[in-house]
Chain A
């Protein structure tokens, strides 16, 4: 069974631009969560979607948004990029609703904001 895939793997953007990241979960998984990982803050929860509904949202500004499609694929968008948004963005999928701990991570998208 194929794992979680994320595109693109690497991205360089300029301050003020916006970016959209994509995640395809493991086949049959309906829960997708997004995380930001930085050396300074560690791994931080952004949001979780299940069956196209946002279930939880972490403590991030409204510039961070996401959505999930009927095929469970998910996208996250960051508008008005700031230098501090440079990070590894990880997507994880789970077969269970509201169980984001039992999840499987994708390889991540490395975003660099200059």
Chain B
């Protein structure tokens, strides 16, 4: 059973702080990793994807991948109240079928 684990939260951070969201996965054959943001009552929105070990940056978002330790993280710098949402981690392996975590609820308070 391939699993993707996320802390459900909520993770509460003050405006302007760095929010750190983590995700661990069980399948060592996983090849690609994705972060989605889902606002309440809305559909998921792709934020970032990463394939290789290391960091990938896009604006205020940085995805970090460590395949040896089987975790992927998302850092949000200068967090804004508009970042308050549920963040879903998804992992895809050789079967091309994505497995999603349950998501971490992030609250950014002014």
Contacts and interface: CB of A to CB of B under 8 A. Distances in A.
A108 B96 CA distance: 22
Nearest to B31: A101
Interface of B: 32-34, 42-46, 49, 88, 90, 92, 95-103
A55 B96 contact: yes
B110 to A, nearest CB: 28
Interface string A39-59: 000111100100000011010
Interface residues of A, number: 20
A107 B96 contact: no
B98 A108 contact: no
A107 B90 CA distance: 19
A26 interface: no
A57 B43 CA distance: 21
Interface in A66-97: 90
Between B33, B92, B103, the greatest number of chain A beta carbons within 10 A of the residue's beta carbon is seen for B92
Contacts of B103: 42
A108 B42 CA distance: 8
* SS class, residues of chain B in contact with chain A: strand
A27 interface: no
A100 B34 CA distance: 10
A98 B102 CA distance: 23
20 contacts: A42-B101, A43-B44, A44-B100, A45-B97, A45-B100, A48-B97, A56-B97, A58-B97, A99-B92, A99-B96, A100-B92, A101-B33, A101-B92, A103-B46, A104-B46, A105-B44, A105-B45, A106-B43, A107-B42, A108-B43
A101 B34 contact: yes
Contact of A56 (B49, B88, B95, B102): B95
Contacts of A107: 42-43
Contacts of B98: 45, 100-101
Given A48-B97, A101-B90, A106-B43, 11 more contacts: A42-B102, A42-B103, A43-B44, A43-B90, A45-B99, A45-B100, A58-B97, A90-B44, A100-B92, A100-B98, A101-B32
